[in-house]
Amino acid sequence: MPNENSRAATVAGLALAGAGVSHFVAPALYEGLTKPAFPTNTRQHVYVDGAIETAVGLGIASPKTRRLALVGLVVYLLYLAGNVARNR
């Protein structure tokens, strides 16, 4: 069972990292999602979010950094949710 959990976490981390990289490849896809949290300088925030998602995803993919990356993911999601609430 631990091997299966580790494999699933690795795949999930790599998927998140891939989504992060896609922010740089096709930023227009993310502008509509990013605008509610960051109504000004939206494109810049798309790139910042992409960098964060890439870093967190790679951290989750590695068993040695997984716990720290999961904490980072929670902080990142709270930060995004706070910005959406603040800009409503």
Note the pLDDT of residue 39: 93
Q: How far apart (Å, rounded) are the C-alpha atoms in residues 83 and 74?
A: 14
pLDDT band at residue 2 using 50, 70 and 90 as cut-offs: low
DSSP per position, 9-75: HHHHHHHHHHHHHHHHH-THHHHHHHTTT--SSHHHHHHHHHHHHHHHHHHHHSTTTHHHHHHHHHH
Give the model confidence (pLDDT) of 5-60 as tens digits: 899 999 999 999 999 999 999 999 999 999 999 999 999 999 999 999 999 999 99
Q: pTM value?
A: 0.90
* pLDDT-derived band at 1, boundaries 50, 70, 90: very low
pLDDT of residue 5: 80
Specify the residue for token string 């509610």: 36
